[in-house]
Amino acid sequence: MAYQFATEEWVKALQEELNNSEAYREAAKNWEGDFYFIVEKGQGIAEDIYLYLDLWHGEAREAYLQGDPASKKTAFELRAPLDTWKGVLNKKIDPIKGIMTRQLKLKGNMMKIMKSPKAATELVESAASVETTWPE
């Protein structure tokens, strides 16, 4: 089944993929921190979309579309326009390189991210395995 990117259904499918991925569980076993993955307004996106993921020691404990981002403070925010997210999920943009080149804008402890590149890679692998349709 295909899920439209940046929806509640899509982020729930990602949570399921992460929790079923032995590679992610192993790569992220020391990771603690939650994220907002933010899809910026533009290109068929009427307003910024906040996807929340609570990642804890190789498990995605929570995942949902956050309606009011001010109501929850996260350890990290990763922000990009739709085309950049599409590039990441199609494996044309490496997430760490995307952060370094500011294609993906990171708010949070950069050193923590840089210490866990394999976890980031496996997160993208799981996200890429979610069958995705894209907003027009």
Determine how many CB atoms are found less than 10 A away from the CB of residue 73: 9
Number of structural domains the chain divides into: 1
Owning domain of residue 11: 3-129
Query: pLDDT tens across 97-118, in order?
Result: 999 899 999 999 988 988 888 9
Beta carbons of 104 and 80 less than 8 angstroms apart:
yes
CATH number, domain at 109?
Answer: 3.30.1050.10
Position 136 in a domain: no
Predicted TM-score (pTM) of this structure: 0.94
Position 68 in a domain: yes
Position 135 in a domain: no
Position 91 in a domain: yes
Structure tokens at 8: 């509640």
Query: pLDDT tens across 46-101, in order?
Result: 999 999 999 999 999 999 999 999 999 999 999 999 999 999 999 999 988 999 89
| HEC sequence for 72-131 | CCCCEEEEECHHHHHHHHCCCCCHHHHHHCCCCEEECCHHHHHCCHHHHHHHHHHHHHCC
Position 17 in a domain: yes
